[in-house]
Amino acid sequence: MQMSFLGAAGTVTGSKTLLSAAGRQLLIDCGAFQGIKNLRARNWAPPAFDLHRLDAVVLTHAHIDHSGYLPVLARYGFQGPVYCTAATRDLCEIMLLDSAHLEEEQADFLNRHGKSKHHPALPLFTTADARRAIGLLKPRAFDTPFAISPDIEVTFRHAGHILGAAMAQFDVGATKILFSGDLGRADDPIMPAPANPETPDYLVLESTYGDRLHDRTDPGGQLAEILHRTFARGGTVIVPAFAVGRVQSLMYWIARLKAAGEIPDIPVFLDSPMAIDVTRVYSAHLADQRLDQAQCAQMCGAATFVTSVDQSKWLDTRAMPSVIIAGSGMATGGRVLHHLKAMAGNWRNTLLFTGFQAPGTRGSTLVDGASEVKIFGEYVHVTAEVIQLDTLSAHADYAETLNWLAKFDRPVRHIFLNHGEPAASDSLRRRISERFDWPCHVVEFMEQVSLSDAGLASAHRPPPQEPGRED
């Protein structure tokens, strides 16, 4: 058996791990790289494996850093099955079509304005590519093993994190390999706690927050204080939010705070067509969350859905306090950019970031205290209050991850840490070694490891591929 780490190695994006076992080649996650230009350029390189030998893809969840390269595979001719949970399938349909639209829109903008060094600028993938990828998705139930081949069985276990998120357990003969995907939190009010699967022989474990602990302050109280402070000065709260997970968490807390009379009945607008579609998906998958039907309906009704461009433009002209939730979560695109351009220069307003901001993104620049930020080719002076709210994180921190590991009933033969910035991954490696004394190392981009019954047999790191084009 062999694993090749083709993404989410030394970074939190581009999740792809190639598993070669029992004569099959399987790709666990198929994510797009996001963030700084050097990472995004990797999306343009040809697949780092023989596509004709790839038997199947197994998705842990729908976030673009785990699913966003699927249309590229489809464009290159991949026609095999892509296994995922039912909710992940529904979310991927929304997210991949939205990503394709943004890719086509960006290429058109660059061509019309002559802003690309490539002639013509091309989208990474098209709507047709996305539709081909969606057609490959094969939903499978949680906790129900399914066979990929006579010698390989896969079982999805609840990971928490977002709707439909799963750990993927591979049984290859007598050997168990577990891919954590993105681990959620035990006390998340919407998502279930990460499951306690059978102890694997090998574990590929995310390390996004391997070097920090989440603030344990009540997120409802923090959010109420931020809203009160902004409304008192007559301002609007602009929230760049991730359409899947973070938007729904915000709406859940806003609904609770309003119902308890802890915040005034200020208008809340959800200005993201994709997030609106995603929110509706929650109602169709009640079994995958903690909320019952009434609670889910209350969450979904916490905001006015903004469905047209004219309505979105009107929000920027309102003089009354409000909350505007819009994508994207790292302010890299979407309608939130128009709101930031219109409102970031007003000291009465608040820019509220509610998730991880990858280095090189506009969100990271703002959270780091920049006095100006470039939007649509122009620099916008920032005088609005900028806040990062860490209490809504959907990722386990290092203590939560260690507590999850402690539930295994025997040592893990080897742990491979991926999906983390270098400092975070190495910090988690050290903590695992100190607490459990289990073999553990941080994977590198393009690293290949061979597994044997005796443990980790060998590892080598071929030179990275040349990146492709990035407009």
d(C-alpha 381, C-alpha 377), whole Å: 13
Phi first, then psi: what are they for 213, rounded to 5°?
A: -105, 140
What pLDDT score was predicted for residue 455?
52
Total-model pTM = 0.90
CB 125 within 8 A of CB 72: yes
150 membership: H or E segment, kind and range: none
d(C-alpha 400, C-alpha 356), whole Å: 17
CB 392 within 8 A of CB 355: yes
- Measured at the CA of 369, the angle between CA 367 and CA 370, to 5 degrees, comes to 110
Judge if the upstream peptide bond of residue 328 is cis by omega within 30 degrees of 0.
Answer: yes
CATH code for the domain defined by 2-212+394-460: 3.60.15.10
How many helical (H) and strand (E) elements, i.e. helices and strands, does the chain have?
14, 23
What pLDDT score was predicted for residue 454?
43
End-to-end CA distance of the chain: 38
Instruction: Provide the residue-wise pLDDT of the chain in tens; the chain has 471 residues.
Output: 999 999 999 999 999 999 999 999 999 999 999 878 899 999 999 999 999 999 999 999 999 999 999 999 999 999 999 999 999 999 999 999 999 998 998 888 888 887 777 788 899 999 999 999 999 999 999 999 999 999 999 999 999 999 999 999 999 999 999 999 999 999 999 999 999 989 999 999 999 999 999 988 899 999 999 999 999 999 999 999 888 899 999 999 999 999 999 999 999 999 998 999 999 999 999 999 999 999 999 999 999 999 999 999 999 999 899 999 998 888 988 899 999 999 999 999 999 999 878 778 899 999 999 999 999 889 999 999 999 988 888 999 999 999 999 999 999 999 999 999 999 999 999 999 999 999 999 999 999 999 974 455 445 555 444 445 444
d(C-alpha 87, C-alpha 220), whole Å: 27
| CATH 3.60.15.10 residue spans of the chain | 2-212+394-460
Q: Which fold has domain 219-388?
A: Rossmann fold (3.40.50)
Tokens representing residue 413 in the block: 């033969």
Give me the helix-helix angle, 219-232 and 246-259, nearest 10°. 80
For the residues of 416-463, what is the DSSP string, one character each?
EEESS-HHHHHHHHHHHHHHH---EEE--TTEEEEEETTEEEEEE-PP
| CATH 3.40.50.10890 residue spans of the chain | 219-388
